[in-house]
Amino acid sequence: MLKKTFVGAVAALALWAGGAFAQAFPTKPVTVIVPFAAGGPTDVIARIVGEHMSKTLGQQLVIENVVGAGGTTGITRGAQATADGHTIMMGHMGTHGAAPAMYPNLKYDPTKDFAPIGLAAGTPILIVAKKDFQPKDLKEFVAYVKANATKINEAHAGIASVSHTTCLMLQHQLGVKLTEVAYRGTGPALNDLVGGQVDIMCDQIVNLVEQIKGGQIKAYAVATPERSPALPDVPTTKEAGLPDYQVSAWNALFAPKGTPAPVVAKLSDALSKALDDPATRKRLLDLGGVIPEGQQRGGTYLGTFVAQEVARWTPIIKAAGVVGQ
């Protein structure tokens, strides 16, 4: 009897402590690992939602850019961080969708090694080029790329990044193999595209709107069924003659596996409040981001979604025959 009481008391104490911990969380600034260079889409989305989350949580969300290996270096660091909620990470369709098929020795399982917090933004993919790239529209682009593939440099953010994976899909559809140039993120890659040092890129819209509107780079099409309200003059791939090239990416926040559920719930709530904040919504929408609504929010939905994404991308990547390190 005594033993049962003791065990019961310990369990009750643990529950209370967990609840009390969650109540106090966060007790210090929260580190957000962004697995790509500053200034790129993953970084920009993390900073936009993080700014409002800081207000809700009462502690600064501090971005730490940990680059390398298409984002898997930073995510591996995040997966192994102390699971107390004070270290989270911004992953995306590459790190938590394509990576397992491209990295046989990946040090994490996107479906098992995280406590999903929630989707931050959907990000339509665009086919873009340096401003003096010869083809004047997507039809000419396809013909030109097929005829000159070996002379064309394609910039991306490392094997299994969104930019790499989505341009891999494009190459596969066109039956070509471009010369790939890897960067620490599509922020730095975009600088070289504007400078004309590289020729083309497949990238997330939130990285490109300003440069497209400013005429610094050329946008051939957006790979979504409808045009983006942020870029109404850019045709869809369907309108422009490449209907099979349909792809969108997404960015989402994750905590390490084992982070207490009440803490994860607090982080999910802060993310959701950010996505409901008018000023935060405007910043994301102006960049062409797609805001998750209703049942698309929270960790449960994200967990299911990640499993679906890994299952979706694995056969696409295997068919394209690409493996990372």
Binding site for ligand MLT (CB under 6 A): 36-37, 40-42, 71, 94, 157, 161-163, 185-187, 203-204
Q: How far is the CB of 167 from ligand MLT (least distance, A)?
A: 9
Q: How far is residue 150's CA from residue 136's CA, in Å, rounded to a whole number?
A: 20
What are the two backbone dihedrals, phi and then psi, of residue 157, each rounded to the nearest 5 degrees?
-105, 25
Task: Note whether 264 and 25 are within 8 A (CB).
Answer: no
Cα–chain center distance at 106: 17
Q: Report, in Å, the least distance between residue 222 CB and ligand MLT.
A: 15
Q: Residue 151 Cβ, how far from ligand MLT at the closest point, in Å?
A: 23
Q: From the CB of 278, what's the least distance to ligand MLT, in Å?
A: 25
Q: Please, which residue, 45 or 61, has the CB nearer to ligand MLT?
A: 45
Peptide bond into 232 cis (omega under 30): no
Distance CA 204, CA 186 (A): 9
Least Å distance, CB 67 to ligand MLT, is 9
Q: Which tokens hold the place of 52?
A: 């409002």
CB of 23 to ligand MLT, least distance (A): 34
Residue closer to ligand MLT, measured from CB, 98 or 302: 98
Pick 186 or 259: Cβ nearer ligand MLT: 186
Residue type, 94: G
In the bound state with ligand MLT, the residue whose beta carbon lies nearer, of 251 and 268, is: 251
**Which residue in 49, 12, 13 sits closest to 30, CA to CA?**
49
- With respect to ligand MLT, which residue has the nearer C-beta, 125 or 264? 125
Minimum CB distance to ligand MLT smaller for 37 or for 231? 37
Whether the Cβ atoms of residue 317 and residue 162 lie closer than 8 Å to each other: no
DSSP E strands in the chain: the ranges are: 30-34, 61-65, 87-92, 114-130, 153-156, 179-182, 200-204, 217-222, 248-256
